[in-house]
Amino acid sequence: MNLFEGHGNREAKIRYLDGDFQILSPGSYVVCAMTGKQIPLDELRYWCVARQEPYADVISAIDADKRAGVLPNQRR
């Protein structure tokens, strides 16, 4: 059985780690913190460990860093 099979169409609860993540509560997707888009777990590539947030794509991840004021040479 595939790791992502059998958990229906519900949101997973995830703990985001450096370069990996841990599934705390099974599900088939997480929700992007910036766009609200559902991200299937097998497509999850971007997240922030410090903020424990998933992102749908690199643009969403950069926008989240801008919002948080953590990019170099960025005025707060």
pLDDT tens digits for 17-45? 999 999 999 999 999 999 999 999 999 99
**H or E segment at 60?**
helix 58-68
At 5 the pLDDT is: 53
- pLDDT bucket at 1, cuts 50 / 70 / 90: very low
- Given a cut of 90, whether residue 4 has pLDDT beyond it is no
Number of H helices, E strands in the chain: 1, 6
Non-local CB neighbours of 2 within 8 Å, separated by 6+ positions? none
CA distance 51 to 55: 11
- pLDDT bucket at 3, cuts 50 / 70 / 90: low
- Given a cut of 80, whether residue 73 has pLDDT beyond it is no
3-state secondary structure of 62: helix
